Amino acid sequence: MQARIPHSAVLATLLVLELLAPAQAHDDNTGYPPAGSAATSPVNSVSSNLPRFPVSDLSSQKPAKPAAKSAEDDAFREKDVWGRIRSGYAIPDISNELVGKHVNWYATRPDYIARTTTRASRYLFHVVTELEKRGMPTELALLPFIESAFNPQALSSANAAGMWQFVPGTGRDFNLKQDAFKDERRGILASTDAALTYLQRLYDMFGDWQLALAAYNWGEGSVQKAIKRNQAAGKPTDFESLAELMPAETRNYVPKLQAVKNIVANPAQYGLNLPAIDNTPYFTAVDKTSDIDLTIAAHLAELSVDEFKALNPQFKRPVITGDEQTKILLPKENADKFHLNLAQWGKNLSTWTTHKITSARESISTLASRFHTTPDVIRQANNIPQKTALKAGSTILVPKLSTSASIDIPAEVERTATVAFETERERSSKAGKVSKTSYKQARSDSKSEKNSTHKKRHKHDD
């Protein structure tokens, strides 16, 4: 037992130190936040019971979807993914002052383009493949350039998360799981599927990709009202005709995508270089059959923690939990290394388990002592802010002791676990009120007892 405890404590400390803080929803070095990160985006607002706008009411004719392409054609037609994207452009171009403004902004910031396209190189093959399977325009693969700068850890002030920027409510509408251990709004596979499903639904609703994009940013109800307003005034209902009714963010949204589309079509024209992206899958999915620490998974795959998290950003805690449907993404050659190293590991794959707080008396300090770790390790593993305390009912991660070394976290615990905090001042204030109430009650009880004795004495004297 003595040999196991230090091993867990050391691993726990290493796990926490290597985990990164959540990234911002934009590239902080540019001051140019993605358009989709504002609270008005429909992906940033609850979109259950989506309204249906009859296509027959639209004044514009519904363009045909591009024909779906076979996987065999994709594999050999183009040498790189950029070529596949260019060959599948299918949204009508727009050319106006706003497009020129955004082209100039991107063209004069090659460092921003380099960082964003380098991040995108991990995901674009998958996104383009999914678009082609659905027969959707391939320039939609560039939309995360606008939404999140291809940062799956992006988080907006409106709590929109991931590469495609879903808020919690809309994420749940599209079956993106969100619990104490994972957030599929950040997951590459799940969020891409949800975003493309949503975009398809919007296209079927409006019959126009530019209006579908406007609805993705502004909300389908807002676009519907704008169309009806222009129809009542006898005006056209295409995107540019509706632009004057839109907020500035949406008015710029489609022009921004057009600007990126223009640059990808001919980067040399703007003095830019795009990193080569081989027309082959960047990652493969590996089944996860038991709990595994995030850092151990990265170690077995011979990847840095940063690179592992870039492909698996949905996991929020130092341990990856889940059922047989849970998968981790790894580059192909690293997946082979993972399987080989896993077969030779011979140690516990996870050093974490859960503990439910049953009483306000369970402080982080006492928990740290009980589980042979430090308060900082517990705080960082559970994202508990400094100067806060855990409320009763919270379920947190704690280092495993020898008695629980081989036990996985139950799926039910993963689904239902919650963590709630209160400030130390709030707890002290509550304690003070309880103490004051108890003191008043004690005085009251004492006074009642004296009065009772006094009355008895007088009665006895009578």
| pLDDT score, position 44 | 53
Q: Considering only 67-76, 280-289, 364-373, which range has the smallest mean pLDDT?
A: 67-76
From residue 311, alpha-carbon distances to 118, 160, 282, 327, 330 in Å are 13, 19, 10, 11, 7
Query: Buried b / exposed e across 149-164, counting CB within 10 Å, b at 16+?
Result: bbbbbbbbebebbbbb
Which domains, and CATH codes, for the chain?
A: 35-270 (1.10.530.10), 282-343 (3.10.350)
| Alpha-carbon torsion angle 148, 149, 151, 155, nearest 10 | -30
Q: Look at 435 and 316; give whichever has higher pLDDT.
A: 316
Q: Furthest-apart CA pair in the chain: how many Å?
A: 113
pLDDT (tens digit, 9 = 90+) per residue, 397-408? 999 998 677 789
| Average confidence score pLDDT of the chain | 83
CB 296 within 8 A of CB 137: no
Determine the Cα–Cα distance for residues 214 and 220; give it in Å rounded to an integer: 8
Q: Are 85 and 141 in contact (CB under 8 A)?
A: yes
Closest CA to 153 of 123, 189, 183: 183
* Residue showing tokens 């615990």: 413
Residue 181 in tokens: 């251990």
Residue 88 · residue 128 · CB < 8 Å = yes
Q: Which of 116, 122, 112, 161 is nearest to 307 (CA)?
A: 122
pLDDT band at 63 (very low <50, low <70, confident <90, very high): very low
Q: Which of 50-64, 238-252, 416-430 bottoms out in mean pLDDT, i.e. has the lowest?
A: 50-64
pTM of the model: 0.79
Report, as residue numbers or ranges, the catalytic residues: 147
* Residue pLDDT, tens place only, 359-406: 878 899 999 999 999 999 999 999 999 989 999 999 999 999 986 777
DSSP for residue 218: H
Residue 318 CA to residue 352 CA, distance in Å, equals 8
